[in-house]
Amino acid sequence: MSESREPAVWHGTTIMMVRKGGKVVIAGDGQVSLGQTVIKHTARKVRPLAKGEVIAGFAGATADAFTLFERLESKLEQYPGQLMRACVELAKDWRTDRYLRKLEAMMLVADKNTSLVLTGTGDVLEPEGGIMGIGSGGNYALAAGRALADTDFDAETIARKAMAVAAEICVYTNESITVEVLETAE
Catalytic residue ranges: 13
Question: Any binding-site annotation on 178?
Answer: no
Using the CB atoms, write b or e for 83-117: b if 16+ within 10 Å: beebbbbbbebbeeeeebeebebbbbbbbbebbbb
Quick count: other Cβ atoms within 10 Å of Cβ 171? 13
Both ends of the chain: CA-CA distance in Å? 65
| Beta-bridge mates of residue 15 | 28, 134
Question: Any binding-site annotation on 170?
Answer: yes
Question: Any binding-site annotation on 87?
Answer: no
* Dihedral angle over CA of 49, 135, 149, 23, nearest 10: 0
Residue positions in the annotated binding site for Na(+)?
Answer: 167, 170, 173
Residue positions in the annotated binding site?
Answer: 167, 170, 173
